[in-house]
Amino acid sequence: MAGVEDTAVRAKQIPEAAVARLAVYLRVLSGMAEQGATTVSSEELSGSAGVNSAKLRKDLSYLGSYGTRGVGYEVQVLVSQIERILGLTRQHRVAVIGIGNLGHALANYGGFPGRGFPVEALFDTDPDLVGIPVGGIPVSHLEDIPRICSEREISVGIIATPPTAAQSVCDRLVAGGVQCILNFAPVVLQVPAHVEVRKVDLAVELQILSFHVARRADRAGEAPENRGTPGLPDAGLPIDNGGTGDGRNSAGTDGGLGMVVR
């Protein structure tokens, strides 16, 4: 019991950005474990994860892992620690709402079950889809969201609908006891305090990439003496990752795709 309480305390102390990096470390470490690796140095892990080693060591210190000098970290121990801190020691049943191209792809994605997120329910309003199995799961009507989510103990809802339908879908998910929502629609959802919402928006990510490409092109045209001091970071411009964008996706709906997660 003390171990569970200690984990809960540590989880509350971890910054949001570090949580995202822990998920990346877990993916890298799982791949290493599959290849038979038993230990990994901070330099190896940070290089594979795309972060500097000092930041990685700081992130892992939140888990109570400091490694062994000259040896590094035990891969399987780190995997277990990160899974525990991310709440992955149990399965989280998933419902996908909006079975257009995006929802169809999510329903058929084979990587979810192995990471503890089996898709257990699908919903749409299209009469040509309702009752048809996708990925082995029959599509149900949106009106049945509260009942089915409650019966199947769905804990995560993925919204891939047009923005005009997203809030009503969200309300139905909450009514069915869903406490975690991943929203691909380009709208801000209103939820009770106990419900966690993460938003993804591909349009914003593309705009950020555009900024970096434009800045790189501008700097390539500058005189060397105007490019800043070598070895010092470029201050650049602040980037606001909090935008919602209004891009359209290929889901057969207007739902927003994306990579920005809040």
The annotated binding site for NAD(+) is made up of: 98-103
Structure tokens at 173: 């998910």
Q: What is the CA radius of gyration of the chain?
A: 21
> Measured in Å, how far apart are the chain's first and last C-alpha atoms?
31
Structure tokens at 250: 């290929």
Collect all residues with Cβ–Cβ distance below 8 Å to 74 and sequence separation of at least 6: 38, 39
Interhelix angle 2-13/75-85, rounded to 10 degrees, is: 80
The answer to whether 122 touches 145, Cβ cutoff 8 Å, is no
Collect all residues with Cβ–Cβ distance below 8 Å to 20 and sequence separation of at least 6: 261
**Known binding site: residues?**
98-103
Q: Which amino acid is at 8?
A: A
SS3 letters for 202-237? HHHHHHHHHHHHHHHHHHHCCCHHHCCCCCCCCCCC
Interhelix angle 16-34/75-85, rounded to 10 degrees, is: 140
Name the β-bridge partners of 137: 134
